[in-house]
Amino acid sequence: MKIKLAILDHDETYLNQIVSIMDSKYMDSIQTYTFTSKDTAIKTVSEAKIDVFLANPDFEMSMEEIPMKCCFAYLVDQNDIERYKGQIAIGKYQKIQLFYQQILSMYAEKVADMELSSKNTKFSIPLYCFLSASGGTGSSSLAMAYAKNQAMHGKKVLYFNLEQLPTTGLVFTGEGNGNFSEIIYSIKSGRSNVTLKIESNTKQDNSEVFFFDSCNIPLDLLELDTNDFKQLLIHIASLNKYELVVVDLDFTFQKKELFVLEGATKIIFVSDGSAVANRKFLSAYESIVILDEQNETGIAPRISLVFNKFRNRTSQVLQDERIKVIGGIPYFEGADFVRVVDELSHHPLMNKLDN
């Protein structure tokens, strides 16, 4: 989905230049409309469902003319003006990256205001959650491998580790100094724009997977509550940058983890087929079924099961007609974690996770 941007100004040369630059740099995320006539602009803003509308202050604007779902700002000559006539002001002649970031910021805040007032928790981007009811089954390696696999197939993928003790840095590395702690601080403090913090702290691995570096200390993650998780997902979606988000998640019955599962497109539990792992998974599944009945959350129908580190002598496929079993992956003897993730990313089972 692209952000629809409308610009109303007298200067046709400026309008042509801004369209040319925006199309060359941000064609994938923004569609730009330009106008020199106020009447035509107002009509198009309504009919085309414009997301962000910028107007030169020379045009007398009434907020009643602008749809409630449309963000509005005045397009001013000075870059250091933040407000004009009680509305947000954006400098015409600032660096295009800053201009673009301000548009993203406006849109993100509008989306957040609208989404946070809604009870609908469905995420607007495909969200695949990987988790396990027992430790040591390789849910993280499978999540990372799936992110790499999808990136290899040309998708823009964000790998997002929400485990208390993440292993992101063992596999994914990228340029930049920021990490997820800065995003958490931005959300909790309200002192900076969350969308820009997310964008500035996102890194990209050589495999083309986007990711966040782990927190400074694991305790930082405990600061996030359910509402924070909701804001975070909304702001990620507002970037209009990713086609898929892969979430590596601890399994608990805390509200914030259950909220993520409720908004997920697909939930992939990982078991190694051992008696202990299978028993724990079934206990978790039965509990989720009960919670679904109590809260009408619909989590259980989206659960699939993958067997990883499967050993023929000690592992057993779970037989339960309620649960979709995608398949199994054998144990990689003597391979380190990075190599296992790479091997998994090429495994045929990766192509079955979408089914």
| Confidence (pLDDT) at 116 | 43
**Cα distances (Å, whole numbers) of residue 22 to 80, 181, 238:** 22, 31, 18
Run of H or E including 141: helix 139-152
* Residue 316: band (very low, low, confident or very high) from pLDDT cuts 50, 70, 90: confident
Q: What residues contact residue 59 under an 8 Å CB cut-off, 6+ apart?
A: 8, 38
Residue pair 210/242 in contact (Cβ under 8 Å)? The answer is yes
Structure tokens at 267: 């939930």
- pLDDT at position 228, please? 86
Percent of the chain whose pLDDT exceeds 90: 53
Query: Residue 247 pLDDT > 60, yes or no?
Result: yes
pLDDT confidence of 286, banded at 50, 70, 90?
Answer: very high
18-53, pLDDT tens digit by residue? 999 999 989 888 999 999 999 999 999 989 999 999
Closest CA to 161 of 191, 202, 124: 202
Model confidence pLDDT, tens digit, residues 81-102: 888 888 889 999 999 988 988 8
CA 112/CA 40 separation, integer angstroms: 29
pLDDT at 65 over 50: yes
Q: What is the CB-side half-sphere exposure of residue 67 using CA atoms within 13 A?
A: 17
Quote the CA–CA distance of 21 and 27 in Å, as a whole number: 9
Q: For residue 53, what pLDDT is reported?
A: 95
Q: What is the rounded average pLDDT of the residues 326-333?
A: 88
Does residue 118 surpass a pLDDT of 70? no
Q: What confidence score (pLDDT) does residue 111 get?
A: 65
For the chain, how big is the Rg over CA atoms in Å?
23
Sheet strands (E) in the chain: 3-8, 30-35, 52-55, 71-76, 83-84, 87-91, 127-131, 157-161, 202-204, 210-212, 244-248, 266-271, 303-310, 324-330
DSSP E strand stretches across 125-174: 127-131, 157-161
pLDDT of residue 120: 44
1: pLDDT confidence band, cut at 50, 70 and 90? low
In this predicted model, which residue has the larger pLDDT, 113 or 103? 103
Mean pLDDT of 304-311: 90
Decide which of 64 and 291 is more confident: 291
Q: What is the mean pLDDT of residues 130-157?
A: 94
Residue 238 confidence (pLDDT) = 80
CB atoms closer than 10 angstroms to residue 350: 19
What distance in Å separates the CA atoms of residue 346 and residue 351, rounded to the nearest whole number?
A: 9
Residue 340: pLDDT band with limits 50, 70, 90 = very high
Record the tokens describing residue 191, joined without a space. 């002192």
Tokens in use for 206?
Answer: 């050589």
**pLDDT at residue 265 tops 70:** yes
Residue 121 confidence (pLDDT): 45
Q: Decide: 79 and 94 in contact? Cβ < 8 Å.
A: yes
CA of residue 130 relative to chain centroid, distance:
15
Give 234-238's long-range contacts (Cβ < 8 A, gap of 24+).
234/108, 234/111, 234/112, 234/115, 234/116, 235/108, 235/112, 235/194, 235/195, 235/198, 236/125, 236/158, 236/160, 236/198, 237/111, 237/123, 237/124, 237/125, 238/104, 238/107, 238/108, 238/111, 238/112, 238/195
Residue 2 structure tokens:
């692209």
Q: Who contacts 305 (Cβ-Cβ below 8 Å, separation ≥6)?
A: 268, 269, 270, 271, 281, 318, 323, 324, 325, 326
Other C-beta atoms lying within 10 Å of the C-beta of residue 117: 7
The answer, yes or no, to whether residue 218 has pLDDT greater than 80, is yes
- pLDDT over threshold 70, residue 113: no
More confident residue, 178 or 9: 9
**How far apart (Å, rounded) are the C-alpha atoms in residues 49 and 1?**
13
pLDDT for 54 equals 96
Length reported for the chain: 355
Q: Which structure tokens are listed for 42?
A: 């107002």
Beta strand pairing call for 266-271 and 127-131:
parallel
Q: Name residue, tokens 């629809």.
A: 4
